[in-house]
Structure 1
C-alpha cells in the first residue's frame, strides 16, 4: 500500500528516513554551537523548515545532508547571537560559519575513524555510545527503554564502554 503524501511532497517513509539519517548530526551541530537543549531544538526545527520551504529548489539530492547540516549551523549561530543580544552585520553570519578547510578535513577524518572504532565495539556498547553521541541529552529512562538495559546499569555500562573505546583509540594511534 503506498504511503500518504505529506504537504512537502515527500512520502512519510522518505521523511522519516531523512530524520533518522540526519537528525542526530543536526542536533550535534546545534549543540556544538553552544546552544542549550531548547535553542538547539529550535535550530534543528528551523533547518527542517528551511528544507520544506526550499524543497522544490533541491538540485542535488545527494547533498541534502550537507545542506541540512550547514543550514542547522546557520540557524544555531543566529540563535546564539540573538541570545547574546548581538545583531549580525552584513557579513557576521558568513564569517562565523565559514570553517577552516584544513580543520574540516582533519575533523572529518577523525570522525570517520572514531565511528569505525565504535563499530568495532560489541553490544551494548556500540548502541549505547551511538545513542549518547547522537542524542546527548537522552535521559536514562529513554536509554533503558530503547536498549532494554536496567536504569541502574546504564552509568556503569557507559563508563566501561568509554574505557573500551579509549583503549581502541590508543591502539589506533
Structure 2
C-alpha cells in the first residue's frame, strides 16, 4: 500500500469522514464484485455490500497491517455475502419469475446447454488462482488491474500476464473438450 493510501486509511480510522468516503469509493467495486460472484441478485448484493461496509467500519481500528486492506475487505465481503445467501436460501427471488421466454429453438438451447456444461467443467479444472482471477474479471469487468491485484494479493504488473496464461490454459482445456471459441458466442 502506498503512503497516500496508508495516510487515507489512518485518517479514516481517526474518524475523518472525507477519508472514509474515499476508501469506500476506492473499494466499492471490489465489494460489489465479491457479492455478485457469490451468485447474489442485485438486491441481495446490495444488502451484502451494505453489511460489509458496516462490518469494515466497526473493525477498521483493529486492522494491523494497512497493506492487507484490500484482502481484508474482500474477505469481509465474502463472509457477508455468504451470510446473505444463507438467509435467502429458502426464498425464491421474484426475478426468477420474470425470465422472458427463450427466442431460440430447442436444438440451439440443448447445444448451448451442453457447451455451457463443458465450459464450466473446463473452468473448474483450472488452478484456484486462475478461477479466482477469471471469475473476478468476468463478474466485475470494470475493476482496474490495481483493484484486482489488491483483491487477490497479486502484483499489479502480473495481473495481465496471469490473465493471459489462465485464458490460454482455459482455451487448451476447452480444445480437449472440443469446444471452440466461435461456438461460445
Which TM bucket (shorter chain)?
0.3 to 0.5
Which structure's CA Rg is the greater one? 2
* Bigger RCO (CA 8 Å, 6+ sep): 2
